[in-house]
Amino acid sequence: MSLTFEELSRSCVGTDAVVPFLGGERRYVNLDNAATTPALRQVQETIDRFLPWYSSIHRGTGYKSRLSTEVFERCRATVADFVGATANETVIFGKNTTEMVNKLSRRLGLSQADVVCLSDAEHHSNDLPWRKVAQVVRLPVDRRGAMDLDALETELRRGRVRVVAATAASNVTGHLSPIHEIAALAHRHGALCFADCAQLAAHRRVDMRPPEDPGHLDLLAFSAHKMYAPYGVGALVGPRRLFDQGEPDHVGGGMVEVVTPTRAYWSQSPDRDEPGTPNLLGAIALARAIRCLLEAGFDAIAEHEQRLTRYALARLAKLPGITLYGDAGWVSGEDRVGVIPFNLAGVGHSLLSAAISWEGAIGVRHGCFCAHPFIQRLLELSAADSSRMIDQVLAHDRREIPGLVRMSFGLYNDERDVDALALTLERFAREGLSGRYRFDAVLGEYEPEGFRPAIDPSLGI
């Protein structure tokens, strides 16, 4: 029987958890899903059901090994189907998007004579790996994080661009990139397009499109922990011919045909890029989450998150002292995933997010969200501001560094969660913070004075 969206939205583990806060105890409101999502109950149950069968994969001859190997490959096929990959594409499992982009950057045979184009709004994971292997050209973005496509075309015309690496959905503003249009542009000039789908995969259908389609995505990556399957796996999908050849970036067991004292003959893809024992449970979790998301339907997921985003934008916009980042007119919530960055006048982002947690029992994220260049642009920091910030950070003093607070939705959030945050912010704006906080230089965070709840011993950790 098929899972409805309503059933799925009630299926996340721990969404009824009660946590300590300065007022006692309260149901925890998690508005930090862009960082990581809770697990689906169906994922947890599937892992529990499989554990008695868990065994070594590849080359084990026992029944459990054979079963585990078959299950692992089935999970790979589920991921391939999910993104619309063809038999000419390979799915490589790794730890997360970061590891997958690092791998990709080292597997394309790039040199400093090659150009990789990326936007100024990329997550560091889709920026720093490329800097190590090629010349990176950063393209300007608007306040939503939308890449300047004219600037991209100008750069492509110079004829040195090998890869356009673009985020499919921004982890700062939620902006959805016209990723297929970007791919078509890249292809017209002989470049590959890599889509960072870390913020997309749980919220909109990822579709590579067939290779003959001009907007086909050559390569993409995403993380299972951002799509309700937090068991430490990520996936990279791309042309098989590309990964069947070249030097693997990591070497060891499980990815060789034969080894002599002086030579090694690498396996073909995907084994060539999966050295060591793979994360079978992670792959099972991801495949189960994918099937649940597909059953509930991405139309329903998108509709729910858009409605909630519109509601939150309208609710927050009315609060005194609030600044919402992105475009001033960009409040419809139509063309973005549910990620909303904001600040409140008179309270630094770090202190604000601590107070939201300790006075509201609400989880949000603050800082620069691993997208420092974009945040500096959104905050309109001058060169002097930026260099002051660098000095402060290098002196391990993070009290005053600029940043934002971010709320981000999962499929289980609802209007009550938005109201909880809005009421908390309203109270701060009207009455100020009620807790007393001190800055913990080691944690780099504000902590409530004299209040440090102990970890529940029943967790056994």
Ligand X SMILES: Cc1ncc(COP(=O)(O)O)c(C=O)c1O
Nearest approach, Cβ of 128 to ligand X (angstroms)?
Answer: 11
Decide if residue 413 touches ligand X (CB under 6 A).
Answer: no
Contacts of 49 (CB under 8 A, 6+ apart): none
Give 42 or 126: the residue with its C-beta nearer to ligand X.
Answer: 126
Decide if residue 408 touches ligand X (CB under 6 A).
Answer: no
**Taking contact as CB under 6 A, which single stretch among the options 70-78, 90-98, 132-140, 148-156 is the one that binds ligand X?**
90-98
Decide if residue 305 touches ligand X (CB under 6 A).
Answer: no
Residues paired with residue 167 on neighbouring β-strands, in sequence order:
196
CB distance 168 to 193 below 8 Å: no
Q: In what order do the strands lie in the sheet with 135-139?
A: 89-94, 234-239, 219-223, 192-196, 161-167, 115-119, 135-139
Nearest approach, Cβ of 196 to ligand X (angstroms)?
Answer: 5
Q: Quick one: CA torsion of 349, 389, 369, 236, rounded to 10 degrees? A: -170
Length reported for the chain: 461
Decide if residue 279 touches ligand X (CB under 6 A).
Answer: no
Give 98 or 309: the residue with its C-beta nearer to ligand X.
Answer: 98
Q: How many CB atoms lie within 10 A of CB 333?
A: 20
Nearest approach, Cβ of 290 to ligand X (angstroms)?
Answer: 16
Decide if residue 97 touches ligand X (CB under 6 A).
Answer: yes
Decide if residue 125 touches ligand X (CB under 6 A).
Answer: yes
Q: Looking only at residues 24 through 43 of this chain, which bind ligand X when binding is defined by CB under 6 A? A: 35
Q: 322-330: which pairs have CB atoms within 8 A and are 24 or more residues apart?
A: 322/425, 322/429, 325/143, 325/172, 325/173, 325/378, 325/404, 326/143, 326/144, 326/145, 326/173, 326/175, 327/142, 327/143, 327/144, 330/143, 330/144
Q: In what order do the strands lie in the sheet with 365-367?
A: 322-324, 339-344, 404-408, 365-367
Q: Provide the phi-psi class of 168: left if phi over 0, else alpha when psi is between -120 and 50, else beta.
A: alpha
**Taking contact as CB under 6 A, which single stretch among the options 46-54, 60-68, 121-129, 453-461 is the one that binds ligand X?**
121-129
Give 235 or 418: the residue with its C-beta nearer to ligand X.
Answer: 235
**Taking contact as CB under 6 A, which single stretch among the options 91-99, 178-186, 299-307, 409-417 is the one that binds ligand X?**
91-99
Give 202 or 420: the residue with its C-beta nearer to ligand X.
Answer: 202
Decide if residue 119 touches ligand X (CB under 6 A).
Answer: no
Closest CA relative to residue 19, chosen from 360, 365, 350: 360
Rounded CA-CA distance 215/178 in Å is 10
Give 170 or 424: the residue with its C-beta nearer to ligand X.
Answer: 170
Give 100 or 352: the residue with its C-beta nearer to ligand X.
Answer: 100
Nearest approach, Cβ of 170 to ligand X (angstroms)?
Answer: 7
Decide if residue 44 touches ligand X (CB under 6 A).
Answer: no
Contacts of 371 (CB under 8 A, 6+ apart): 121, 122, 123, 124, 170, 171, 172
Decide if residue 123 touches ligand X (CB under 6 A).
Answer: yes
Give 44 or 173: the residue with its C-beta nearer to ligand X.
Answer: 173
One residue of 96, 119, 269, 309 binding ligand X per CB under 6 A? 96
Give 33 or 267: the residue with its C-beta nearer to ligand X.
Answer: 33
Give 120 or 426: the residue with its C-beta nearer to ligand X.
Answer: 120
Determine the straight-line distance between the first and last CA of the chain, rounded to whole angstroms. 37
One residue of 42, 44, 90, 98 binding ligand X per CB under 6 A? 98
Give 21 or 369: the residue with its C-beta nearer to ligand X.
Answer: 369
Q: Looking only at residues 166 through 225 of this chain, which bind ligand X when binding is defined by CB under 6 A? A: 167, 171, 196, 198-199, 223
One residue of 126, 177, 353, 357 binding ligand X per CB under 6 A? 126
Cα–Cα separations (whole angstroms), residue 167 to 75, 79, 131, 148, 180: 25, 19, 16, 13, 12
Binding stretches for ligand X (CB under 6 A): 35, 96-98, 123, 125-126, 167, 171, 196, 198-199, 223
